[in-house]
Each structure stands twice: as C-alpha cells, then as structure tokens.
C-alpha cells in the first residue's frame, strides 16, 4: 500500500533566547508565576532578518539533510503558519525559492496551533493519491510579532521557531512505516476565545493575539482526549501501543492533563514547552525533531502527534517511523 513515510526532520530557531527573568524586566510578571502556571522557562524570539520564512527555510534545509534528499526532489511544500511574512505570496513559496526547487506545489495553511496537523493531513492525502511524491511539511511562526507586550496574560506564553518533516510516498507493507490515521476537527463557535483582533479584510492591520486562557484550557483537554481516542480506534491501536506522543506544546498543565486522561505515563510525552514556549504551528515538528535527534524516536516506533488551537481547530495523527 502507498503511505506517506517520514524520511527526515529539522528545526529552525531564532538566535535570541529570552528567559522569564529577562521578560520580567519589561512585563509585570515573574519567573515563578510563569513556571508554575505553564512550565515555560524561556522562549526564542526572532530578531532582525529572522522571519517565518527564514526560520522555515532553516528547518527545511535541516530536514532535507537529515533525510539525505536533495531539494530538487521536493514537489510539494505545505507550510502551516498564522504569521506569514506577507499576506501574500504564501510563505511556502518563499521557502521554495530559498531552497531552489521550482515547479511543484507550495502553499500555506492556516489553522493556528493545530496548523501542522492540518498541513500533514493535506500533504498525506496528496502523497497517497499520487499528486506529489516528496513533500516538505513545515510549521513556522513568529508569534512575537503579533503579541501585545502589554498583556501579561498572553505575551509570556509564546515563542518563535520552525520545524519541518520530509515525507515521501512509498509502497510499504501493512505493518510498515507511514502515516496510519489522521483526524481533524474545527468548531468556529469558539472563535472569540482565542483570536487576533485585526486582519487585511477587517481592520487593515495585522492585529494582536487575544485569549481567554482559562476557557481555552478547559476545551483543549476535552478535545484532545477525544481526538486521540478517535485516531486510536481508527488505526486499531490502544494507548499502550503508543511509544511516544509528540503534542502541541501549549503549556505543561495541558500536557499533564491529557496524559492523565489517556492513562499514558508522562515519560511517553515529548516535552519542549519549557525551552520553546508555545510556538503555535511549529511546536509539534520542533518537538518531533528534538526527540528524533536525541534518539528517543526510533525506526518502528508508533508516534502520536496532536494539537489544538484557535478556531477552535484540533487534530491528531498516528504514524509509524
């Protein structure tokens, strides 16, 4: 059967690290409050010359090198972001140009923090139906540029970065590698709980992130538990079969609560929120790449990816490495 098989991963992080203590010099907050409520100790913040597309390009180059695949083989780039370099063209086309691979499809998808799951599902469908053979799936964000730095309830939570996976369509046996099952959801009724108060067609401005944190937290735990269960049922697996969960890194308490709800030990969950904070669409591929490079993710492992974000949108995907 034809499946989308992960061939490599890569990361792109800004040069500058900002600790909670450094943030507390300009924002009315403290290291203690941030760590206790979120598990975040630091975040990376993009500086001059660093944009969503440049970080995405760094991640894409690293992923191609990891896969041992030349950029010329890439015929699909799907880039998930809520913070594109420009309203158009899509940041995916900027990455395509930087990599020097022309002619294939390249576009952005917008599903905020679950954007990477939406991008992966899109690429997986195109690979399995023969519309593409080799895809770069990227999550990249510069959320620091849409944060209200006067709003301590949101600005301490986010960071910048990019992560990428290379996937290839391959003919594999039933028990072989590849994306096994994916489920995506959205519920626009909750749009006002997490949104940006601007945009090209409304205010003509970029806008800033607004969030009702407590409500988001409540929905996140319920929605994630449901979609994880759904993907397990669809793929004929139980939680005990899963070697690793690579979740969206919104905050440590959501990760703990999700693990508990599923009956999974916390040491099966890849956690990077302490160092990256919430990088929105970039957090899943960033965490995936870290765990792959440090040897936790190994060939044959069953890995669950999951995310929830503004919209609300949420999704999960089970893959075998």
User: Which residues of this protein are in contact with ligand ACO, per CB under 6 A?
Assistant: 29, 33-34, 37-38, 113, 152-153, 156-157, 194, 211, 213-214, 216-217, 220, 248, 250-251, 253, 278, 308-309
Smallest separation (angstroms) from ligand ACO to the CB of 257: 10
Smallest separation (angstroms) from ligand ACO to the CB of 153: 4
Q: Residues 161, 144: contact at Cβ < 8 Å? A: no
Measured between its terminal Cα atoms, the distance across the chain in Å is: 16
Structure tokens at 22: 């450094």
Smallest separation (angstroms) from ligand ACO to the CB of 64: 28
Peptide bond into 312 cis (omega under 30): yes
**For ligand ACO, which residue has the nearest CB?**
213
Return the DSSP state at 216: H
List CB contacts of 180: < 8 A, sequence separation 6 or more.
Answer: 3, 235, 318, 319, 320
134 is catalytic: no
219 is catalytic: no
Strands 313-320 and 178-186: antiparallel
20, 101, 113, 134: which is the annotated catalytic residue? 113
Smallest separation (angstroms) from ligand ACO to the CB of 208: 14
Structure tokens at 19: 């600790």
20, 223, 251, 278: which is the annotated catalytic residue? 278
Q: DSSP secondary structure string, 47-97?
A: -TT--HHHHHHHHHHHHHHHHT--GGG--EEEEE-SS-SSSSS-HHHHHHH
Q: Residues 8, 69: contact at Cβ < 8 Å? A: yes
Q: What are phi and psi of 38, to 5 degrees?
A: -130, -20
101, 190, 248, 276: which is the annotated catalytic residue? 248
Distance CA 185, CA 256 (A): 22
Supply the residues annotated as catalytic. Answer: 113, 248, 278
């Amino acid at each position: 059967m034809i499946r989308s098989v992960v061939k490599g991963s890569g990361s792109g992080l800004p040069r500058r690290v900002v600790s909670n203590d450094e943030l507390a010099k300009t924002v009315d907050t403290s290291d203690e409050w941030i760590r206790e409520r979120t598990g975040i100790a630091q975040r990376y913040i993009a500086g001059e010359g660093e944009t969503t597309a440049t970080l995405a390009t760094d991640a894409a180059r690293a992923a191609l090198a990891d896969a041992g695949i030349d950029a010329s083989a890439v015929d699909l780039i799907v880039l998930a972001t809520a913070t594109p370099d420009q309203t158009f063209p899509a940041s995916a086309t900027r990455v395509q140009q930087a990599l020097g691979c022309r002619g294939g499809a390249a576009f952005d998808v917008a599903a905020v923090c679950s954007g990477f799951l939406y991008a992966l599902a899109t690429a997986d469908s195109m690979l399995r139906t023969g519309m593409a053979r080799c895809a770069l799936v990227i999550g990249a964000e510069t959320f620091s540029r849409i944060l209200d730095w006067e709003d301590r309830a949101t600005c301490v939570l986010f960071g910048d970065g990019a992560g990428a996976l290379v996937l290839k369509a391959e003919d594999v046996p039933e028990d072989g590698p590849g994306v096994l099952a994916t489920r995506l959801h959205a519920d626009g009724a909750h749009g006002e709980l997490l949104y940006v108060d601007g945009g090209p067609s409304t205010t003509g401005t970029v806008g800033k992130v607004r969030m009702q944190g407590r409500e988001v937290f409540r929905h996140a735990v319920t929605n994630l538990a449901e979609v994880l269960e759904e993907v397990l049922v669809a793929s004929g697996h139980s939680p005990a079969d899963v070697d690793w969960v690579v979740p969206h890194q919104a905050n440590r308490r959501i990760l703990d609560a999700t693990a508990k709800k599923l009956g999974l030990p916390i040491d099966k969950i890849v956690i990077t929120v302490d160092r990256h904070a919430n990088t929105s669409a970039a957090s899943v591929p960033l965490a995936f790449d870290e765990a792959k490079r440090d040897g936790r993710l190994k060939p044959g492992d069953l890995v669950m990816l999951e995310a929830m974000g503004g919209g609300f949108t949420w999704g999960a995907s089970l893959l075998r490495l």
